[in-house]
Amino acid sequence: KMKFKWGDLFKSAVVGGCIGAISGTVFGFMDGMRTAGQSDVLKNASNMAKGRYMLQGTTRSATMFGVFFGGFHVVRYGVRVAMDPGEWGEIGLAGAVSMGALMSQPAFRPSMPYASMLIVMDGVHIVMREFNN
């Protein structure tokens, strides 16, 4: 069983938050580009208005995914300290809690495929690390 350390919890939150924010920036930019190309209102808007729209969407997405994936890593660390079910158990339990929190807010539900991809990527990281050892 692992002993709780504030430093480890902080590192987990920072790593998850950074990865989530970077991924969210890309997701937000892609969604903003798609929306700007499909929206009749934005097609007629100035380039400045389009840029502002994309910047706001990118910032919103980066923040949401940073908080989501940072929270996922904090929950994962808590599961590891509380019961140590192994890496796959940690991902499963933390993923269920995090996705449940995301699903509870209707405005965030469209982001669930991207959020689940981040969790799957965490599992792929484990597989690749085991494969290299």
pLDDT digits (tens, 9 = 90+) for 56-106: 999 999 999 999 999 999 999 999 999 999 999 999 999 999 999 999 999
Please report the pLDDT score of residue 44 as a whole number.
87
pTM, two decimals, is 0.91
Q: What is the 3-state secondary structure (H, E, C) of 26-76?
A: HHHHHHHHHHHHHCHHHHCCCHHHHHHHHHHHHHHHHHHHHHHHHHHHHHH
Please report the pLDDT score of residue 40 as a whole number.
87
d(CA 25, CA 60): 8
CB burial of 27-54 (b: ≥16 within 10 Å; e: otherwise) equals bbbebbeeebeeeeebeeeeeeebeebb
